[in-house]
Amino acid sequence: MSEVLSQSEIDNLFAALSTGELDVEQIQEKEEKQTRVYDFRRPAKFSKEHLRTLEIIFEHYGRLLATNLPIYMRKNVQIGVASSEAMTFSEFFNALSTPVIMGIGSLEPLPGNMIIDLSPNLGYAIIDRMLGGEGGTLEKSRDFTRIERIIIEKILIVCMQHMREPWKNVLDINPVLERLETNSQFAQIISPNDMVALVTLDVKIGDVQGFMNMCLPYFTLEDVMDKLNTRYWYANLQETKNEDYEEHIESLIRRVDIPIKAILGNSTVSVNDFVNLQIGDVIRLDSHVDSELSVYVGNIRKFTALPGASKENYAVRVMSVIREGE
């Protein structure tokens, strides 16, 4: 475009101004440069691509937990990613209230620590279920007892162990739960102004719903930030799919430990007889010597078997398989 206007262009410009089609103030506003406020206290260290990749990782993680936690709680568990965002550690920390359930863990060889923050109502539901209840929660929060802390710590160890597989496409990590904190004042793992990525999982155990927050400091993820992008993620995922994927899944399932027990029989005794039991006393069971035993996988009756021995150990021989509904 020429820098000098022709006579016809000048006439058209004056005509537009006189008729009101063109406003001088609007022209000046358009010419003003648009500025954007930058907060130096919250540098943009996590891009949308980084957060999206973390969501993919924890979507995988949620599916693993939803499959494995019912083994311990005998209750249906649903887990999905609710949101992801970047914030300062102080913003995350100030939103906490005591009591909390915070697992401080490490993701070696990555430096620093991460935090698993579990809603207290989910903690109460887990405790109730693990102790034989229906999995209900409390109307009013209270501090956790020592036994309750041990139960929660056991579940958080399981949660940390299942962190390994979802991160495999980024880095081989060794996740370890270092400690459990129920007072937020003892969970300050980094400086308040340091940036963290917060991935929130929506967790439902039976009828109880709550959140599980994954707090990942930038300091911990800095060495693998270049791998936290969907292009790198799907490239590695495709390499895995090119292998025999079904065989890979089957090999993972085969390594899962499941409890199995054979029940010899049952008996009912009085409190007096129980108190006075001595070495050498005989307890009569409700099963016959030649009757088959019930074998349970977890809490499901799956086989019948006959007792025997294998070398120096007791053993059972499976005689029949109990199908579902039998």
Kindly list the domain boundaries of the chain, sorted by start residue.
48-254, 260-321
CB 153, CB 91: distance < 8 Å: no
| Token couple for 201 | 């999982």
Which residues lie across from 308 on neighbouring strands?
A: 315
CATH, domain 48-254, list 1.10.3720.10, 3.40.1550.10, 3.50.50.60, 3.90.1150.10: 3.40.1550.10
- The pLDDT value recorded for residue 12 is 74
Pairing, β 293-297 against β 313-321: unpaired
In this predicted structure, what is the pLDDT of residue 157?
A: 93
Q: For position 200, what pLDDT does the model report?
A: 94
Residue 247 · residue 140 · CB < 8 Å: no
CATH superfamily membership of 260-321: SpoA-like (2.30.330.10)
Q: Is the pLDDT of residue 28 over 60?
A: no
Tokens of 284: 């009569």
pLDDT digits (tens, 9 = 90+) for 254-307: 777 788 888 888 888 888 888 888 998 888 888 888 888 889 888 888 899 988
Q: What is the distance between the alpha carbons of residues 223 and 220, in angstroms, rounded to a whole number?
A: 7
Residue 1 has pLDDT above 60, yes or no: no
pLDDT digits (tens, 9 = 90+) for 215-263: 999 999 988 888 887 676 666 655 555 555 566 667 767 777 788 888 8
Band of pLDDT at residue 29, cut at 50, 70 and 90? low
- Residue 325 or 138, more confident: 138
Output the pTM of the full model.
0.61
- Mean pLDDT, the chain, integer: 82
- 76-103 pLDDT, tens per residue? 889 999 999 998 988 898 888 778 899 9
